Structure 1
Amino acid sequence: MTTYILLANWTDQGLRNVRESPKRLDTAKAALKEMGGEFQAIYMTMGEYDLIAVYEAPDDAVAARFMLLLGGFGNVRTKTLKAFPERAYREIIGSLG
């Protein structure tokens, strides 16, 4: 599985309905699981982003489909980072010669 970092900010709609956010998170977790992925960690944060999550998905297409699904709900705007674990990082750097 590939690891992704999700950076999210609530939209105006998401903030107006922030009390529903835990329920929306449960819906997102179920949707990702149905796509073959899984959340590893979720944080509400202070600063540039309102929420940060680490999740795994089978591939980039699933991750893209999941982000489009979340965006379509209208409650968050997201940015996604593809993450390379330490092993892959070492392999990539080691392949430089």
Structure 2
Amino acid sequence: MATFISLVTYTDQGIKAIKDAPKRVDGVRLLAKKLGGELGELYLTMGGYDIVAFSEFPDAEAAAKFTLTLNSLGNVRTTTLRAFPEDQFRDIVGGLP
């Protein structure tokens, strides 16, 4: 499974209905499972982003479907990063020419 980190900001629509956000997170967890992935830890943050979320998907295509679907609902906008754990980082750097 590939790891992804999503930096999330609420849209005007999302912040107006902020009290519904925990219920929406439950729906997002179900969406991830439907696409073969899993939404892991999620943090409410202060600063440039409202939420930081960790997820795993079998591939980048599944992750793209997840983020596109999530963004299309109109409550949040995401910036999603592919993350490599330390062991993969070491393999990648070790394989450099």
TM-score grouping bracket, smaller chain normalisation? over 0.9
Aligned-residue CA RMSD in angstroms? 0.7
Alignment of structure 1 residues 1-16 onto 2, 5 Å: 1-16=1-16
Runs of 4+ residues over 3 Å off in structure 1: none
Question: What runs of 5+ residues in structure 2 fail to find an aligned partner?
Answer: none
1:85 aligns to 2:74 (yes or no)? no
Q: How many residues align?
A: 97
Moved more, 32-41 or 60-69: 32-41
| Separation (CA, whole Å) in 1 of partners of 2:7 and 2:16 | 20
Residue 40 of structure 1 aligns with an amino acid whose one-letter code is G
**Secondary structure of the structure 2 residue equivalent to 1:80:** strand
**Secondary structure of the structure 1 residue equivalent to 2:63:** helix
TM-score (norm 2): 0.97
Question: What runs of 5+ residues in structure 1 fail to find an aligned partner?
Answer: none
| Separation (CA, whole Å) in 2 of partners of 1:85 and 1:40 | 15
| Separation (CA, whole Å) in 1 of partners of 2:32 and 2:62 | 9
State the partner residue of 1:95.
95
Identity score, percent? 47
Residue 80 of structure 1 deviates from its aligned partner by 0.3
State the partner residue of 1:54.
54
TM-score (norm 1): 0.97
